[in-house]
Amino acid sequence: MATATPEAVESRIVEALASFGPDIEQVTRTATFEELDIDSLDLVELAQIVEDEWGVELKGDDMKGLKTVGDAIDLVVARAA
Amino acid sequence: MKRRVVITGVGAVTPLGVGAEPLLRRWAAGEVGIQEGEGAARDFVAKEHLSIKEARRNDRFAQMAMVASDEALAQAGWNGEKPYAPERIGCVLATGIGGLESLEGQHDNLRDKGDKAVSPLSVPLFMVNAGTAALSMRHDLRGPTFQVGSACASGGHAIGTAMRMIQMGDADAIVTGGAEATLTPLARASFAAASALSPTGISRPFDARRDGFVMGEGAGVIVLEDAEKAEARGATILGELKGYATTSDAYHITATLPEGTYASRAMDLALADAGLTPAEIDYVNAHGTSTELNDAAETTAIKLTFGDAAGQVPVSSLKSSIGHLLGAAGAVEAIATLLAINERIVPPTLGLQEPDPALDLDYVPGAARELTPRNGTPKALSNSFGFGGHNVVLCLEGTTA
C-alpha cells in the first residue's frame, strides 16, 4: 500500500475526481463537490479508490460531512496517519 | 375519433453509422455493416458525443439512445424550447436485455475482488430503464416515462405503446424507440447455446442457406406527436403512425409458431387499426431474422394476411445489412421503413442468392428498387417478433411528395 503523504493523496484524489467528469483545472482544494457536480454515487466510488490505495475505509457518515475537495484530502490524510 | 399520431423526428446509431441518413442510404446501396459475424456500431464512440460524466454514467445502450435522441429531437425542431410543457411529453424506450456489458463487468469485480469493488453506479448502468431515465433527464421529459421489454419485439411495442398513449391523451408527444448493446461474451454464448446465432456469421434472411441470426447493436429514436398539435406548430411531418397491433403465439419460449397464425393476426389487426386493406400496402419490412424458423413462419403469416396477392408486395429485411439489434430492432427498422418509403425506395434483402424453394414471396433480392405508391401516399408494415412469442406490427404512412 502506498504511503499517504498529503501530496500523494491530493494528487490521487484530484485525478480520481477529474475522471468523474469535471475538468482537472476545476478540481482545486477549495472547489465544492456541488460546484463540480460530484454526487453521492461519485463519492462512494471515490471512497473505493481511497480504500484500494491506502486501506482507509470511509463510511457513508464520513462522506456526508465532506463539502470540498480539501475536506476529502484532509480526511484521508488524517485517517491514514 | 382517435387522435392521429405523426412522426416529426428520427435518429439512429447502427452498424451502418451514426445517424438515420446513413442507415437507409447504405442499406439501399447494398452495404453490409456486419464484420466478423457481428453488427457492431463501430463508428459510435461515446466520448465524441457525450461528456465524460454522461459517458461513464451510462451503459453503451443508453449512450446510443442519448445520441439517437439528440438527432431525433433536433429534426423535430425541439433544439431550443420544447413545443409542449415537459409534463405533456413522455418517453417510452425498449430494450431486450439492458446494460449487459456493465452487468458482466461488475460481476467480474464481485467475483475477482469482492463486494466492495462493485461500483455504486452498477444498478443505474445496467437497469433496463436506464435508457428512458437518461432521456427523461437529458431532455426534461416529465410525462409518462418507462421502458418496455419483450425481447426482439420490444422496439415495436415501445412505439406502439407510445402511439396509444398519445391517442388516449396521456401525452402530447413521446420520445420513443429502442436501444441495445449486448455484443458481450455472455450474450454470444447464450444465444449460441439456444442455437439462435448463425454459426457462419452471415445474415441472409429467406436464403436457403440461412442458419441463424447475427447479433447487432444500436439505437433508434422517434419523436411522435399528436398530429393536430404538430400541424398547428408548423412541424415538418415525416409520416404518420397509422396502425399498431400486438398478439402472442403462446407456443414456445424461443421458437416461432410455424403456422404464423398470430403473427398474421397482428398484421391483420394493425391494418384494421390503420383503416387500410392489404392491397394498399406498398412494402413489408420483415422481422426476417435469417433463422430457419422465423423466415418460414413469417412467410406463411404474410401469405395468410395478404392472400393471393402476397406475391405482389415486396418484403425485405434490414437484418441482412446490420444483423439483429434485438430490443432496438423494431425501432431502427421502423425508421428505415419510413425513410425508405419517403424516398420511394424498396430496400433489398442482401445476401439472398439461393432462394429457398419453400419461401416464394418477393424478398427484393440483391438491389433496391423504386417504389411507386399504390394509392397516394406510400404505406408499409414493419414486423417484429420476440422470444416469448410476442408479435408486433406497426403500420406507417409516408409523405406525399
> Could you give the CA distance from residue A3 to residue A81 in angstroms, rounded to a whole number?
9
- A32 part of a folded domain: yes
The answer to whether B121 contacts A51, with C-beta atoms less than 8 Å apart, is no
Number of H helices, E strands in chain A: 4, 0
In the predicted structure, residue A3 carries a pLDDT above the cut 90: no
Best B50, B52, B53, B125 residue to mutate vs chain A (most A CBs within 10 Å): B53
Indicate if B182 and B69 belong to the same structural domain: yes
| Candidates A23, A37, A39, A71; catalytic one | A39
Residue B270 CB contacts under 8 Å (≥ 6 apart), including other chains: B243, B244, B245, B381, B393, B394, B395
Please give the angle made by the CA atoms of B1, B3 and B4, to the nearest 5 degrees. 115
- Give the 3-state secondary structure of residue A54: helix
At residue B183, the pLDDT reads 98
The answer to whether A45 contacts B120, with C-beta atoms less than 8 Å apart, is yes
Q: In a structure prediction context, what are the per-residue pLDDT tens digits for chain B, which is 401 residues long?
A: 789 999 999 999 999 999 999 999 999 999 999 999 999 999 999 999 999 999 999 999 999 999 999 999 999 999 888 999 999 999 999 999 999 999 999 999 999 999 999 999 999 999 999 999 999 999 999 999 999 999 999 999 999 999 999 999 999 999 999 999 999 999 999 999 999 999 999 999 999 999 999 999 999 999 999 999 999 999 999 999 999 999 999 999 999 999 999 999 999 999 999 999 999 999 999 999 999 999 999 999 999 999 999 999 999 999 999 999 999 999 999 999 999 999 999 999 999 999 999 999 999 998 999 999 998 999 999 999 999 999 999 999 999 96
Indicate if B225 and B316 belong to the same structural domain: no
Indicate if B184 and B137 belong to the same structural domain: yes
Please give the angle made by the CA atoms of B307, B308 and B309, to the nearest 5 degrees. 90
Indicate if B273 and B228 belong to the same structural domain: no
Task: Provide the CATH number for the domain around residue B288.
Answer: 3.40.47.10
> Could you give the CA distance from residue A63 to residue B125 in angstroms, rounded to a whole number?
22
In this prediction, residue A68 has a pLDDT band, given cuts at 50, 70 and 90, of: very high
- B237 part of a folded domain: no
Indicate if B370 and B282 belong to the same structural domain: yes
Taking contacts as CB-CB distances below 8 angstroms, the residues of chain A near B124 are: 41
At residue B28, the pLDDT reads 98
Best A15, A20, A33 residue to mutate vs chain B (most B CBs within 10 Å): A20
Indicate if B257 and B219 belong to the same structural domain: no
Indicate if B217 and B301 belong to the same structural domain: no
The answer to whether B52 contacts A45, with C-beta atoms less than 8 Å apart, is no
Indicate if B252 and B384 belong to the same structural domain: yes
Indicate if B386 and B264 belong to the same structural domain: yes
Buried b (16+ CB within 10 A) or exposed e, A48-58: bebeebbebeb
Residues in chain B, total: 401
Contact of B387 with B253, CB cutoff 8 Å: yes
> Could you give the CA distance from residue B401 to residue B382 in angstroms, rounded to a whole number?
21
How high is the ipTM of this complex?
Answer: 0.89
The answer to whether B121 contacts A19, with C-beta atoms less than 8 Å apart, is no
- A14 part of a folded domain: yes
Number of structural domains found in chain A: 1
The answer to whether B117 contacts A48, with C-beta atoms less than 8 Å apart, is yes
Q: Is the dihedral of CA A33, A38, A43, A45 positive or negative?
A: negative
Please give the grid coordinates belonging to residue B326. 434485438
The answer to whether A44 contacts B51, with C-beta atoms less than 8 Å apart, is no
At residue A65, the pLDDT reads 87
Q: What is the residue type of B276?
A: L
Please give the distance of CA B193 from its chain centroid, rounded to a whole number.
24
For residue A1, list its beta bridge partners: none
| Residue A29, domain extent | 6-80
- A76 part of a folded domain: yes
Q: Rg (Cα) of chain A, in Å, rounded? A: 11
> Could you give the CA distance from residue B327 to residue B258 in angstroms, rounded to a whole number?
22
Number of structural domains found in chain B: 2
**Nearest one of B372, B330, B46, B41 to B161, comparing CA atoms:** B330
A10 vs B235, B336, B378, CA distance in Å?
53, 52, 64
pTM as predicted: 0.96
At residue B385, the pLDDT reads 98
How many CB atoms are closer than 10 A to CB B9?
24
- The whole-angstrom distance between A59's CA and the closest CA on chain B is 12
How many CB atoms are closer than 10 A to CB B51?
13
At residue B167, the pLDDT reads 98
Contact of B386 with B393, CB cutoff 8 Å: no
| Residue B354, domain extent | 243-397
- B238 part of a folded domain: no
Closest in B53, B116, B124 to A20, CB measured: B53
Task: Provide the CATH number for the domain around residue A53.
Answer: 1.10.1200.10
What is the per-residue DSSP string for B168-182?
TTS-SEEEEEEEE--
Indicate if B203 and B261 belong to the same structural domain: no
Indicate if B261 and B386 belong to the same structural domain: yes
Taking contacts as CB-CB distances below 8 angstroms, the residues of chain B near A20 are: 52-53, 56
In the predicted structure, residue A1 carries a pLDDT above the cut 70: no
Contact of B354 with B208, CB cutoff 8 Å: yes
Domain end residue (candidates: B187, B212, B232)? B232
- A1 part of a folded domain: no
- In the Cβ-directed half-sphere of B328, how many Cα atoms lie within 13 Å? 35
Taking contacts as CB-CB distances below 8 angstroms, the residues of chain B near A24 are: none
At residue A81, the pLDDT reads 80
The answer to whether B116 contacts A41, with C-beta atoms less than 8 Å apart, is no
Annotation says B152 is catalytic: yes
- The whole-angstrom distance between A62's CA and the closest CA on chain B is 16
Domain end residue (candidates: B190, B212, B232)? B232
Please give the grid coordinates belonging to residue B267. 398484421
> Could you give the CA distance from residue B202 to residue B35 in angstroms, rounded to a whole number?
9
For residue B10, list its beta bridge partners: B222
Indicate if B255 and B200 belong to the same structural domain: no
- The whole-angstrom distance between A67's CA and the closest CA on chain B is 20
Taking contacts as CB-CB distances below 8 angstroms, the residues of chain B near A19 are: 52, 56
Say whether residue B124 is in contact with chain A using an 8 A CB cutoff.
Answer: yes
Domain end residue (candidates: B179, B199, B232)? B232
- B393 part of a folded domain: yes
Taking contacts as CB-CB distances below 8 angstroms, the residues of chain A near B51 are: 21
